[in-house]
């Protein structure tokens, strides 16, 4: 197995939550309220699994290795991915900042939550597509067997630091949220 396959598998879990976030945002606008528990769970998933686990492996391991074999960090595909990660964090901060008001039915907070949620999911779906179809194949072509083995070891160490059972716990949360909010017109991964 290659390290990029691990990242792609994590993308499939993340996509489940993207579907849920779209459904959650749509329901919030339609019903005039937001379920604060589901919103908090989705935001926790994004901040913990998508960002601190998945994006950290990319930023701290994969991108560093790509730089070592000649990919520039300040322009090109790595810089695009880093900008996307930063944009995603901003959308999630905006969502988190209005959860309580949206749960109370504040119309402006509901619009803010929904708008940032949809922008986030749209951006991250495009981001995942760019990584799966362009960035990861470029990386795999640039790495030799030793690089691949070192990446796998570094990923395993990163996962160990995240804590035992974290992947399973967040995969279960992703399935639960996706089951609660299935049916959104935006929920079809590409």
Is 0.85 surpassed by the pTM of this model? yes
State the average pLDDT over residues 136-147.
Answer: 95
Length of the chain, please? 190
Q: What angle do CA 186, 87, 25 make, to 5 degrees?
A: 35
Least confident of 33-47, 99-113, 158-172: 158-172
Residue-wise pLDDT for 151-172, tens only, equals 999 999 999 988 878 999 999 9
In sequence order, what are the residues at sequence separation of 6 or more whose Cβ sits closer than 8 angstroms to the Cβ of residue 18? 121, 124, 125, 187, 189
Q: Residue 188 pLDDT > 70, yes or no?
A: no
Domains in the chain, ordered, with CATH? 3-180 (1.20.120.520)
Q: At 82, list the tokens.
A: 């880093």
d(CA 13, CA 97): 25
Q: What is the pLDDT of residue 110?
A: 97
In sequence order, what are the residues at sequence separation of 6 or more whose Cβ sits closer than 8 angstroms to the Cβ of residue 159? 53, 166, 167
Q: At 17, list the tokens.
A: 């939550």
d(CA 159, CA 153): 10
d(CA 111, CA 106): 9
Q: What is the pLDDT of residue 61?
A: 96
State the average pLDDT over residues 65-74.
Answer: 94
């Amino acid at each position: 197995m290659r390290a990029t396959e691990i990242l792609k598998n994590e993308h499939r879990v993340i996509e489940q939550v993207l579907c849920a976030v779209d459904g959650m945002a749509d329901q919030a606008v339609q019903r005039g309220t937001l379920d604060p528990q589901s919103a908090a769970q989705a935001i926790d998933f994004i901040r913990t699994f998508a960002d601190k686990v998945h994006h950290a492996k990319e930023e701290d391991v994969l991108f560093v290795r790509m730089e070592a074999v000649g990919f520039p960090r300040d322009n090109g595909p790595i810089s695009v991915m880093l900008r996307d990660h930063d944009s995603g964090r901003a959308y999630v901060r905006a969502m988190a900042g209005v959860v309580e008001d949206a749960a109370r039915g504040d119309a402006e907070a509901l619009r803010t939550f929904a708008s940032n949620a949809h922008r986030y999911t749209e951006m991250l779906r495009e981001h995942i597509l760019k990584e799966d179809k362009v960035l990861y194949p470029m990386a795999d072509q640039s790495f030799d067997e030793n690089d691949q083995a070192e990446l796998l070891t570094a990923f395993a160490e990163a996962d160990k630091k995240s804590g035992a059972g974290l992947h399973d716990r967040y995969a279960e949360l992703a399935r639960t949220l996706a089951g609660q909010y299935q049916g959104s017109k935006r929920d079809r991964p590409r």
